Structure 1
Amino acid sequence: MGSASSSLLFILAAFTFFSCTARAQGQLPQNVTNIPALFCFGDSILDTGNNNNLNTLTKCNFPPYGRDFIGGRPTGRFCNGKVPSDLIAETLGIKETLPAYLDPNLQTTDLPTGVCFASGGSGCDTLTASIQGVLSLSDQLRLFQQYIERLKGVVGEESAKNIISNSLFLISAGNNDIAIAYSVTDRRYQYDFPSYATQLVGWASTFLQDLYGLGARRIGVLSTLPLGCLPGARAAMPLGCVEVVNQEAQLFNSQLSSMVDSLKNSLPGANMVFINVYDLLRDLIDNPNEYAFQVASPGCCAACTPFSASACPTPSTYVFWDIAHPTERAYKIIVSQITDKYLKNFF
């Protein structure tokens, strides 16, 4: 990669260390039957607060994060309000928000309807999580195994098995591998990017097969975001998105999509769906006025750290909340489109 690409990825990496309606929300397709629970794994796109209780600087449990969340409080969600984990749980009629599994206030009554294991800053590469002190996908899988035993104690073994096999599982990983591990560690010297993308997809495949082995059948795999269009990236290239980084993200997404299709066809009863959030978010960025946004970049909270946290007065007019994460309103539009385009594919 060139120097401009390296600079913008360093900015994205630095963010994770120091921070943490145009359309109504979509209606469920008619053929969608009841989904008993939602489980989320991966990174900050889905994290609902697991990092709060980890020894890491990759946190956002401070104002103004959460200013538009219930009660106006920071909960560890990398957003001004709800994240896709919450919005999808709400859309499915499961519950209003999806609690973090490591939340010390997690209620036993929440277990049968699902929890979140995702950890901001994580990725497919274990190095990505370890350099930040967050939960790797392997760590998240171990917590899920622990969760299964707890669930059995609440509802019994047979009911627990039925809940898991009929629930929806979502995974978001790859963003931090590209933006952090490949930028600031020796990974860039160990692999050219196509080889690294292939390795990432191999690790993702292993995780999905392990999740399948624990009973998961309906699994949605999110693509990366258009990383070269995030406000942190555009700060290095103010005239527009950094397309060389977007090309890397698209290469990874293409391989990830092919892998998901292959697993779906090879694992009996598996219903795995690749969800292209790259294009959904890129459309908001390229055509903000069509969705009644006024600002595609920078983010509303351009300096969201515990030491320098200030935000714009109207986050709903911004596509992005901070230098790497969309606003709640942008997420609502994306989740509406996911519901319309993909949910029926799980049945």
Structure 2
Amino acid sequence: MHFFSFLRALSSMLSLLLVLVQILKAQTLNPNQALLAFGDSILDTGNNNMLPTVLKANFPPYGRDFIGQKATGRFGNGKIISDLIASGLGIKELLPAYLDPELNSQDLLTGVSFASGGTGYDNLTAQMDHLLSMWDQLELFKEYIEKLKEVAGDEKARSIVSDSLYIVSAGNNDLLRTYFDSTPIRRIEYDIPSYIHLLVQSASSFIQELHQLGAQRIAVLGVFPLACLPAQRTLRGGLKRDCDKELFAASVNFNIQLSSKLKSVSAQLQDSKIVYIDVHSNVLDIITHPQNYGFQEVKVACCGTGLVEVAILCNELSPTCSNPSNYFFWDAIHPTERACEIIAPWILQSWIPFLN
């Protein structure tokens, strides 16, 4: 093993160990605890497989490093953040997709993902590609609660819903696709500040409705440094493929306003613990100083040319890099399993102090 590979592995192990120590110290786990995920591809473990959308990842080379080299619909080469959060909390190794036809009743007791890759807080974001909107996901959650009652009984179902941990990731596709890239409709209707306000209000409404359905401990991820994704460097970064300043500023401003709004909502819902998780700063630090984290490439992805390939463009005809662990990005938008293994402990370290 090379020295830097050893340091990288040691760093990862120490991060996970620290998280586990924090979990044991906080005594967060109990028999009724599950993990329930909502939002976009950062947390989607395969729901899009069952939707009439082109935004899928249930074909090679996706899943290249997953158990059995199976393409499950996760947007990556292996496990994604929702899986690693579930295992990091000691709940289970993998977080199944709620729409998975192979989902069994016991899976309901420990949690599922309702997330849909490509969706966002803006309903138009989901409508463009026939995805589950955030509100569709809430309807599935209501269905989940009824199924849970059938499996566990009313009293235990209520305990599971109230004791569970909820994680939400959205906003990335609203800014990337709906406002900056795919359609000019929102740019005609809104300037950037007013569109961010629309998204933050929608996020607030979603969290409050989730709370009304029984959720009490909710972690909400901010958006990633979207301007520095390989696809955005290619499309908006000019010849040097820099991080686009306008999109970068929009991402930062969205996160600032989302964080502020969530503090307000949390203060109103005094029986809840709603936590904003800053992934932007941590991921940006990796992109800015990749050598500190053992990455050799952060501007180009592992799949295909690494410049634009994502979803159907990253397919079985696409060549892939020999060692994805050297890359932060698997496709031109999504992180590798190795990157997720760094991000997930950060999320847990930010979240755990607020869980009790």
Q: By the TM > 0.5 criterion, same fold? A: yes
**Secondary structure of the corresponding residue to residue 124 of structure 1:** coil
Distance in structure 2 (CA, Å) of the matches to 1:337 and 1:42: 19
Code of the aligned partner of 1:171: V
In the TM superposition, residue 243 of structure 1 has moved relative to its aligned partner by 2.3
Q: 2:231 corresponds to which residue?
A: 232
What CA deviation, in whole Å up to 9, does each residue of 1:158-203 have, x standing for no partner? 1111111111100001000001111314111100010000010111
- Does structure 1 residue 340 correspond to structure 2 residue 349? yes
Aligned counterpart, 1:31: 26
Distance in 2 (alpha carbons) for counterparts of 1:340 and 1:211: 23
Q: Report the 3-state secondary structure (helix = DSSP H, G, I; strand = E; otherwise coil) of the residue aligned with 1:240.
A: coil
1:217 is the counterpart of 2:216: yes
Which residue identity is paired with 1:74? A
Q: 2:162 aligns with which of 165, 175, 193?
A: 165
Q: How does 1:109-124 map to 2 (within 5 A)?
A: 109-124=106-121
Other-structure match for 1:182: 179
Deviation at 1:308, TM superposition (A): 4.1
Instruction: Indicate conservation of the 8 Å contact 2:204/2:261, yes or no.
Output: yes
Measure, in 1, the Cα distance between the counterparts of 2:244 and 2:299.
13
Alpha-carbon distance in structure 1 between the residues aligned to 2:52 and 2:355: 37
2:42 aligned partner: 45
What one-letter code is carried by the residue in structure 1 that aligns with 2:135? S
**Alpha-carbon shift at residue 307 of structure 1 (Å):** 6.7
Q: Percent identity?
A: 49
Confirm whether residue 96 of structure 1 aligns to residue 102 of structure 2.
Answer: no
Normalised by the size of structure 2, how large is the TM-score? Answer: 0.90
Structure 2 Cα separation of the partners of residues 32 and 313 of structure 1: 41
AA of the residue aligned to 1:133: H
In 2, Cα distance between the equivalents of 1:307 and 1:64? 5
The 5 A counterparts of 1:314-325 are 314-325=323-334
1:137 to 134, 137, 146: 134
| 1:312 CA displacement | 0.5
Instruction: Select the residue among 58, 78, 83 that pairs with 2:80.
Output: 83
Q: Which one of the candidate residues 286, 289, 294 is aligned to 1:287? A: 289
Q: Distance in 2 between matches of 1:23 and 1:257?
A: 28
| CA deviation map 1:32-71 (0-9, x unaligned) | 4205100000000000000001000000111010011111
Amino acid across the alignment from 1:64: P
- Aligned residue for 2:275, secondary structure, equals strand
Aligned-pair CA distance for 1:234: 1.2
1:330 corresponds to which residue?
A: 339
The whole-number CA distance in structure 2 between the counterparts of 1:150 and 1:177 is 31
Q: What CA distance in whole angstroms lies between the structure 2 residues aligned with 1:240 and 1:202? A: 31
Counterpart AA for 2:192? F
Q: Distance in 1 between matches of 2:249 and 2:298?
A: 20
How many Å separate the matches in 2 of 1:314 and 1:307? 17
Query: In 2, are the aligned partners of 1:42 and 1:137 still within 8 Å (CA)?
Result: yes
Letter in 2 for 1:211: L
Residue correspondences, number: 327
Partner amino acid for 1:198?
A: H
- Residue 58 of structure 1 contacts residue 120 of structure 1 at CA under 8 Å; is this kept in 2? yes
Whether contact under 8 Å (2:81, 2:340) holds in the other structure is yes
Give structure 2 stretches of 5+ with no counterpart.
1-8
Which deviations, in whole Å up to 9, do the C-alpha atoms of 1:75-106 show, x marking residues without a partner? 00001011111000000111000000000000
Which amino acid is the alignment partner of residue 217 of structure 2? R
Distance 1:270-1:324 versus aligned 2 partners, 3 A rule: same
- Counterpart of 1:105 in structure 2 is 102
Partner-residue secondary structure (3-state), 1:165: helix
Q: Secondary structure at the match of 1:23?
A: helix
> Does the Cα contact within 8 Å between 1:32 and 1:344 map onto a contact in 2?
no
Residue in structure 2 matched with residue 246 of structure 1 by the alignment: 248
Q: Which range moves more in the overlay, 31-40 or 212-221? A: 31-40
Alpha-carbon distance in structure 2 between the residues aligned to 1:249 and 1:130: 22
- Is residue 273–residue 346 contact of structure 1 (8 Å, CA) maintained in 2? no
CA deviations on 1:244-297 (whole Å, 9 max, x unpaired) are 211101111111001111111101311000000111111111111001111111
For 1:322 and 1:226, locate their aligned partners in 2 and report how far apart those are by CA, in whole Å: 15
Contact in 2 for aligned 1:272/1:346 (Cα 8 Å): no
Q: Which runs of 5+ in 1 are unaligned?
A: 1-20
**Structure showing greater relative contact order (alpha-carbon pairs closer than 8 Å, 6 or more residues apart):** 1
Instruction: State the Cα distance separating 1:239 from its structure 2 match.
Output: 4.2
Q: Which amino acid aligns with 2:222?
A: S
Between the aligned partners of 1:65 and 1:234, the Cα distance in structure 2 is 22
Three-state SS of the structure 1 residue aligned to 2:166 is strand
Cα distance in 2, alignment partners of residues 146 and 212 from structure 1: 16
